[in-house]
Amino acid sequence: MASNLPHERSGCFSGLLPGSRRQRGSQHVPSQGENAPPPPQGSSVEKFFPGAFPEYVRIASSCDFGSAQRENALPPAYSWAASEADHLSDAMMRTIEDALRELDPELRRLSLDIHGHPELCFEERYAHDRLTEFMSSRGFTVTRHYLGLSTAWCAEFTRGAGGRTVGVNAEMDALPGIGHGCGHNLIAMAGVGVALALRTALERHDVPGTVILLGTPAEETGAGKQILLERGAYEDMDVCIMCHPVSGDTLELGFVSSLALQSLSVEYFGQPAHAGYAPWDGVNALDAAFVAYAGISALRQQIRPEHRVHGVISGRDWTPNVIPDYAKMSWSVRADARDALEPLRERVVRCLEAGASATGCRHEIALGDRYLDLRQNPVLAEDMAVMAQRCYDIPSYRTQMPSPASTDFGNVSYALPALHPTFTIPTPDGAKNHTPGFAIGARTEAAHAAAVRTAALLARTGLRVLADGAFCARVRAAYEGNTAAGPGGATGEVKPKARGRFTTGSGLFF
Ligand SMILES: [Zn+2]
Ligand SMILES: [Zn+2]
């Protein structure tokens, strides 16, 4: 299916995020020729971050939410008081760290196992079985083939009654021909780590609450989370969190937005004819596509720098001596916010219509999946960024410009408070997401260590949601303010996506 087609693959966070600016604790950068990873031995976190992980070290009493040298850094949305930082005791943080340290060898095996069995969207059967079996063995209540999606799953744990609920997402899908070139093996593993660390903390500190780990298929294409949203998978969650790797030499966290994306396709239907003998009898569908393509190429000079329009042309039984009677184009339209997406899409549609008008072809336009821009909850983001600085001296950043990629977690972020930090992993020659080099990086011990450390911080922020009602209220207030006032703002509703006549596996990559 999708693997046969040349595509723009930029669905989730690509490596366009800035790399590390600081020379600190070097991580091992694998070479392109580095093949089989070493077998898991002990804790990768301790190996790559010696001393700091087992011993929770408080480094600073305040955080500027990122490096002062970073361009476009935004001021923190909330000021930070030391007393708030102390709200969750050191003991709770140590509980999370202890749980992850104990789990680390198993998490490493899990990650490598998924990496070694790359599966495309909606085909994540091996990952589904492996992950559900693992979570079931750890005492979670597991629902396989969740909500009618064969590779979706849900693992749930509840402590006590009346508590809040933290959702965690575990992406699983890979890329055709590249495998885990987006590092979703690390995302799945980190999701498991967050969920299990939260469970341990709830039990050890007698905090009421629920943890829901969702296995979310089809992020690269197919918008699996949107389907799960429509089917109610997120209804019981107070917040939802996940993390995503990008390339970078030393570990840092990114809290940036991403572009909203609308996929669409057009088919042109013409009339075949002998290209030399009687071309005047033909209606040229390929010409229609090229007129439309030329129109869009001109359009691209008049769109905003953060917007993107990109597509491909495909045909059927094309040969130079027959006027083509069929052509298809698949397009991705990206804008910085949901409300900017529709006007841009309409400008593209007019170009598509122009192709048909100029050539006399009949045409059909179909809308595909829609990914919304990612709205990082500022309270959750600040909490995690501050603790990353304080606990491990890990810098964080956010930028005014969104990452020029897209994720279906953006749809989640419209529906409820959400956090989607990126974390950096070393890759050969700095290879970015969606490349073979990134796939190599995603299986290294250094990447694993970075993911586990990020999971510890993510779990700690999740635990604060469960344990601190005032904090959760602030998170909710920020979400409601965000969705009410921001560009493309709404009150949190997520409209059903326009699926048109697309079917999953249509070959579009996001
Ligand atoms: Zn990706
Ligand atoms: Zn990804």
User: How far is the centre of ligand 1, averaged over its atoms, from the C-alpha of 144 (Å)?
Assistant: 24
- Does 164 map to a domain? yes
390 and 325 in one domain? no
User: How far is the centre of ligand 2, averaged over its atoms, from the C-alpha of 440 (Å)?
Assistant: 15
User: How far is the centre of ligand 2, averaged over its atoms, from the C-alpha of 435 (Å)?
Assistant: 11
CATH number at residue 69: 3.40.630.10
126 and 102 in one domain? yes
User: How far is the centre of ligand 1, averaged over its atoms, from the C-alpha of 123 (Å)?
Assistant: 16
Total number of domains in the chain: 2
pLDDT tens digits, one per residue of 194-207: 999 999 999 999 99
279 and 240 in one domain? no
- Does 76 map to a domain? yes
Last residue within a domain, chosen from 334, 369, 404:
369
Q: How far is CA 113 from the centre of its chain?
A: 21
348 and 447 in one domain? no
Query: What is the predicted pLDDT for the residue at 299?
Result: 98
Q: Which domain does 348 fall in, by range? A: 260-369
Nearest to 124 by CA among 213, 230, 224, 36: 224
Gap between the Cα atoms of 63 and 76, Å rounded:
9
User: How far is the centre of ligand 2, averaged over its atoms, from the C-alpha of 509 (Å)?
Assistant: 11
pLDDT tens digits, one per residue of 45-61: 455 444 433 333 332 22
Nearest to 412 by CA among 218, 270, 174, 234: 234
Task: Looking at the CA of 11, name the nearest ligand.
Answer: 1
Task: Looking at the CA of 9, name the nearest ligand.
Answer: 1
378 and 313 in one domain? no
186 and 106 in one domain? yes
381 and 362 in one domain? no
Gap between the Cα atoms of 501 and 224, Å rounded:
17
Query: What is the predicted pLDDT for the residue at 327?
Result: 98
- Does 25 map to a domain? no
307 and 233 in one domain? no
181 and 215 in one domain? yes
* Ranges in the chain, pLDDT < 50: 1-10, 13-43, 45, 48-85, 485-510
394 and 355 in one domain? no
249 and 296 in one domain? no
355: left (phi over 0), alpha (psi -120 to 50) or beta: alpha
- Does 38 map to a domain? no
User: How far is the centre of ligand 1, averaged over its atoms, from the C-alpha of 38 (Å)?
Assistant: 25
CATH number at residue 327: 3.30.70.360
Query: What is the predicted pLDDT for the residue at 495?
Result: 29
The answer to whether 15 touches 432, Cβ cutoff 8 Å, is yes
394 and 339 in one domain? no
Write the DSSP assignment of 313-349 as a string of letters.
EEESS--TTB---EEEEEEEEEESSHHHHHHHHHHHH
User: How far is the centre of ligand 1, averaged over its atoms, from the C-alpha of 13 (Å)?
Assistant: 6
User: How far is the centre of ligand 2, averaged over its atoms, from the C-alpha of 496 (Å)?
Assistant: 23
User: How far is the centre of ligand 2, averaged over its atoms, from the C-alpha of 335 (Å)?
Assistant: 19
User: How far is the centre of ligand 1, averaged over its atoms, from the C-alpha of 10 (Å)?
Assistant: 6
Q: Is 58 helix (H, G, I), strand (E, B) or coil?
A: coil
- Does 233 map to a domain? yes
- Does 292 map to a domain? yes
pLDDT tens digits, one per residue of 242-286: 999 999 999 999 999 999 999 999 999 999 999 999 999 999 999
User: How far is the centre of ligand 2, averaged over its atoms, from the C-alpha of 183 (Å)?
Assistant: 6
- Does 120 map to a domain? yes
- Does 404 map to a domain? yes
pTM of the model: 0.81
